[in-house]
Amino acid sequence: MDYLNYLLLALVAFFFIQRLVPTKGVRQISTAELKKELQDKNKQYIDVRTQGEFKAKNIKGFKNIPLHQLADKADQLSKEKEVIVICQSGMRSNKASKLLRKKGFKQVTNVKGGMSAWV
* Whether CATH 3.40.250.10 fits 24-117: yes
Name the pTM for this structure: 0.82
Burial of 111 (0-12, 13-18, 19+ CB in 10 A): buried
Side chain identity at residue 30, one-letter code: S
Among 27, 42, 39, 40, which Cα is nearest to 85's?
A: 27
Interatomic CA distance for residues 114 and 117, integer angstroms = 6
87 is catalytic: yes
**Catalytic residue among 85, 87, 99, 115, which?**
87
For CA atoms 22, 94, 116, 77, give the dihedral sign.
positive
Interatomic CA distance for residues 103 and 12, integer angstroms = 27
pLDDT tens by residue, the chain, 119 residues? 587 888 888 878 776 665 555 567 899 999 999 999 998 999 999 999 999 999 999 999 999 999 999 999 999 999 999 999 999 999 999 999 999 999 999 999 999 999 999 98
